[in-house]
A and B are shown apart, each in its own frame.
Chain A
Amino acid sequence: MSFHPLLLRIWNVFSVSRVSNLSPADPISHFLTHKNHFSPQNNRVKPAPFLPRANKKISGRLETSVFATRDLSESQIWNLGRAYLRKTRIYGCANLQVGVAEKIKLQVVIDNSPRRHGNILGWPPEKDAQKDLALDLARHSGLRILP
């Protein structure tokens, strides 16, 4: 029996379990949606994709979108990104541990909307202070390029 690729992708997303609590060792991924946000030659993620966006729906809260990827296969991770970002091309993802963000006084809060989605919160309002923290996240991230 074979499944249509689209059905398989949908099944992959819905078969992913929710997560509630994260430990510092848990992996999180931020999907990279522009080719100038990473350097494949140097195998490096730049700080820019980690900088927060203001969420207008939650009174301008500063947040960086991430997914908790504990116990997920690689194809499940990519499918989460494709389902969330829909029309936007995904080039790869930046992988890091929750503890990296917590060490610099940021919080990783999972909202499971969609499943496994969460945000890095606790950003300062000043741009230079945000860049300072984004530099730490980028330096401790691993680059994974979409095959």
Chain B
Amino acid sequence: MTTIAMRFDGFLTPHTDRGIGNDAVVLQGRFLDFRREISHSESLGKSYRDARNALLEAYWECGTNNWDGYGAAAVSLGDLCTAMKFISILPTSIPTPEVSVDPDGEFSFDWHNKDCDVLSLSIGLHGRISYAARFGESRTHGTEYFADELPPAVIANLERLFC
């Protein structure tokens, strides 16, 4: 029997398919159809589309060295691909992040909640995530790596911010 596991971390997640055979191909096709519908959905896909557009705009504007006048490094296509992959695996319930570019050329995502708590994380090449957060008087920061799934520490911080 061939099965497909729907993950909870995001319906826009690029599916890593390890199944083989006709049933696996059919299930993979249905999963991709489902993803396509979600991403075009006015409500569920809006956060993803807004973040994607912000990333593309930032990529075009920060694609040359010294784009900030202080000697910042250019954003690379690899940085953009990594950041695109990252936003595609964010849960659809998470609000659109504010996108900016760091002086080292990494994309940065900031989220704020109504209590003025904040999570700021930067995505680098090879999936390195550097993050810092404030929850009231509490503060945390760290480094994680991602390939296909959000690291547990990032999920925990997003949940703390919005749940």
Q: A-side interface residues toward B, CB under 8 Å?
A: 33-34, 36-37, 39, 42, 46-49, 51-53, 65, 85-88, 126-132, 134-135, 139
In whole Å, how far is A41's beta carbon from the nearest beta carbon of chain B? 10
Q: List 12 A-B contacts (CB under 8 A).
A: A33-B70, A34-B67, A47-B120, A49-B68, A52-B103, A65-B70, A86-B69, A88-B69, A127-B122, A131-B121, A131-B131, A132-B141
* A131 CB contact (under 8 Å) in B67, B68, B71, B141: B141
B100 near A48 with CB under 8 A, answer yes
Main SS of chain B's interface residues? Answer: strand
Chain B residues with CB under 8 Å of A126's CB are 130, 143
In whole Å, how far is B141's beta carbon from the nearest beta carbon of chain A? 4
The 10 closest A-B pairs by CB, nearest first: A88-B69, A127-B130, A132-B141, A131-B132, A132-B132, A128-B130, A48-B100, A36-B100, A85-B69, A128-B141
B108 near A48 with CB under 8 A, answer yes
Given contact pairs A36-B99, A128-B142, A46 touches B110 in the complex (Cβ within 8 A): yes
* B100 CB contact (under 8 Å) in A37, A42, A52: A37
Chain A residues with CB under 8 Å of B118's CB are 135, 139
In whole Å, how far is B117's beta carbon from the nearest beta carbon of chain A? 11
Given contact pairs A88-B68, A135-B120, A139-B118, A34 touches B131 in the complex (Cβ within 8 A): no
Q: Which residue of A lies closest to B106 (CB)?
A: A127
User: CA separation between A129 and B130, bound complex, in Å?
Assistant: 8
User: CA separation between A85 and B132, bound complex, in Å?
Assistant: 29
B107-123 contacts to A (CB < 8 Å): 108, 110, 112, 118, 120-122
In whole Å, how far is A136's beta carbon from the nearest beta carbon of chain B? 8
Q: Which residue of A lies closest to B124 (CB)?
A: A127
User: CA separation between A51 and B131, bound complex, in Å?
Assistant: 13
Q: Which residue of A lies closest to B71 (CB)?
A: A53
User: CA separation between A86 and B58, bound complex, in Å?
Assistant: 22
**Sample of 18 more A-B contacts, CB < 8 Å, known A52-B103, A128-B130, A131-B120:** A34-B100, A36-B99, A36-B100, A42-B112, A46-B120, A48-B100, A51-B102, A53-B103, A85-B69, A88-B69, A126-B143, A128-B132, A128-B142, A131-B132, A134-B132, A135-B118, A135-B132, A139-B134
In whole Å, how far is A91's beta carbon from the nearest beta carbon of chain B? 11
Chain B residues with CB under 8 Å of A48's CB are 100-103, 108
Chain A residues with CB under 8 Å of B142's CB are 128
User: CA separation between A85 and B72, bound complex, in Å?
Assistant: 13
User: CA separation between A34 and B100, bound complex, in Å?
Assistant: 9
Q: Which residue of A lies closest to B57 (CB)?
A: A36
User: CA separation between A34 and B110, bound complex, in Å?
Assistant: 16
In whole Å, how far is B120's beta carbon from the nearest beta carbon of chain A? 5
Chain B residues with CB under 8 Å of A129's CB are 141
In whole Å, how far is A118's beta carbon from the nearest beta carbon of chain B? 14
In whole Å, how far is A119's beta carbon from the nearest beta carbon of chain B? 11
